[in-house]
Structure 1
Amino acid sequence: MRDFSASPVEMFASLWRNRELIKASTKREVLGRYRGSALGLLWSFANPLFMLAVYTFVFSVVFKARWGGGEGSKVEFALVLFAGLMVFNFFAECVNRAPSLIVGNPNFVKKVIFPLEILPFIAVFAALYHFVVSLAVWLLAYMVFFGVPHITILLLPLALIPLALFVLGLSWALASLGVFLRDVAQLIGTLTTVLMFLSPIFYPASALPEAYQHILYLNPMTAVIEMVRDLIYWGVMPDWTLLSIYFVAMVLVAWGGFAWFQKTRKGFADVL
């Protein structure tokens, strides 16, 4: 039986080697979601625009919320909230799909020549497309109400790359577990919902009592959500030490997930 390399080099080499297949599959994935609808790809723009309007109304008009309990405007709360949601939705879209990546494509498992390890890449790039569209909506709203964005927004990829690595590692691990334990898909859906409320999306981390703030920072999404907010809304430079530690940790998570996937993929065909 063929052995599959679990080295970190192979993790990135597969991305480069299969780049054209990943590109074509990602395009098909994005277009397939809206195939048959009257608006087509316009839905990818309409959905975040609609959600931004809904969150603005519910939290700033109905609940009269202000970020951190200060005197900020309703628009400020909506944009700060939506910035956090963009990040979390990228994470949740990938992780919720991960357990079904292999189970939902049994024909690929039976094709020895198909590189199964690229399926999480395809899911991540498709989710990244939706993130970019949501970011475009966010930027449009920001420019309408506040003008030119902060220059720090150009550093956004530095926060997103570690997040993408984290998501890839989880996706590889969950895609494998989803083959052998079908309950994983149900469990992950529940856990991501819980994680959303345990992340500083609807409230700043500083809103919690100091005794509980360190618990919030055990959540790997906390650092990236706050970092993205700092870069695109507050115009604050990232903590380079924290970013470096976060990047190294996420590379290890990605490698761990990839290694697990490569070691267990020999049993996929037997189960499916």
Structure 2
Amino acid sequence: MLLAQFQALWRARSLCWVMTRREISARYAGTAAGVLWAYVQPLLTVAAYYIVFDIVFAMRLGENAPTRAVGAFLIVGALPWMAFCDALARGMSSLVEAGGVLQKNALPPVLFPARSVLASMLVHGPLLLALALAYGPQHRYGVALVALPALVGLQFLLCLVLGYALAILMAALRDTAQVVGFMLSIGIFMSPVLFPMAMFPADWRWVLWLNPMTSLVLGYQSVLLQGLWPDAQVWLGVLAWLTVSAAALAVLLRRSRDQLVDWL
């Protein structure tokens, strides 16, 4: 069932691309700057972190941190986290928003979460890759930067699978939006985004691995802050979350096969 969904998405990839472009255009229709507005919030956030923490207060982390500069540390974790939250939120609401279309047209439901997640990643993905220009010179653009596109691609895939699963749950139970919104609001405190992994109590570090972004954030920190290839635990953590998410999605697809359109 899961494989069939992604085969259908591949067959309709041209339609998905057209829908993605239209969604991006529709978000900023009527504005003078257009899609440039999508970059304003993350760029202002990044600038604020750098100015406040690195220039004004010149705050520094401990010896075991990936870097001493607090602002530089926050940027590397916060930007992927913002991309994750935006993609997940948009993917989660995609099926409910497209309910009328799905009731009238025999389109693969996977098209709509894929469109929303892809639209989000087309905005945030270039920003994540652009971090290489800011942090690369510190490590002389070492070979570890090759891992950056792989991390971005894995983040997109994880957001797509999770977003589709949450979209089905939201179609069945609208309370899903409130629960996920709350989890995302506290999730940043349960990941190494705001603090180095070494600062978290060793006996409780397993809690951080319950956050699907922990592995990816550690990967970004290794590549950009230390110029190192991500550890095996980073790749294994991402693959573990992809496996669990795909299994959950397969169950949801099987359970909702005959009822999804009615829920919408």
Match of 2:208 among 212, 216, 226: 216
Q: Root-mean-square deviation (CA), in Å? A: 2.7
Determine the C-alpha separation between the residues in 2 that align with 1:106 and 1:218: 32
Match of 1:260 among 249, 252, 256: 252
Match of 1:176 among 168, 171, 176: 168
Whether the 8 Å CA contact 2:91–2:163 is kept in 1: the answer is yes
Q: TM-score, normalised by structure 2?
A: 0.86
1:26 aligns with 2:20: yes
Determine the C-alpha separation between the residues in 1 that align with 2:17 and 2:124: 17
User: CA, structure 1 residues 136+216, in 2 after alignment: closer, same or farther (shift >3 Å)?
Assistant: closer
Aligned ranges 1:49-198 → 2 under 5 Å: 49-61=43-55, 64-68=58-62, 76-135=69-128, 137-142=130-135, 146=138, 148-198=140-190
Determine the C-alpha separation between the residues in 2 that align with 1:38 and 1:161: 31
Whether the 8 Å CA contact 2:208–2:214 is kept in 1: the answer is yes
User: CA, structure 1 residues 226+190, in 2 after alignment: closer, same or farther (shift >3 Å)?
Assistant: same
Match of 2:219 among 227, 251, 268: 227
Whether the 8 Å CA contact 1:98–1:172 is kept in 2: the answer is yes
User: CA, structure 1 residues 138+239, in 2 after alignment: closer, same or farther (shift >3 Å)?
Assistant: closer
Q: Which amino acid aligns with 1:100?
A: S
Structure 2: any 5+ residue segments left out of the alignment?
none
Q: TM-score, normalised by structure 1?
A: 0.84
Shift of 1:226: 0.4
Whether the 8 Å CA contact 1:102–1:179 is kept in 2: the answer is yes
Residues 97-134 of structure 1 show CA distances to partners (whole Å, capped at 9, x for unaligned) of: 23321211122221342111121211221121122232
Q: Which amino acid aligns with 1:42?
A: L
Q: Which amino acid aligns with 2:115?
A: I
Determine the C-alpha separation between the residues in 2 that align with 1:208 and 1:109: 46
Determine the C-alpha separation between the residues in 2 that align with 1:141 and 1:249: 29
Whether the 8 Å CA contact 1:152–1:231 is kept in 2: the answer is yes
Determine the C-alpha separation between the residues in 2 that align with 1:204 and 1:153: 21
Residues 162-186 of structure 1 show CA distances to partners (whole Å, capped at 9, x for unaligned) of: 3333322221221112122111112
Shift of 1:249: 4.4
- Work out the percentage of aligned pairs sharing the same amino acid: 28
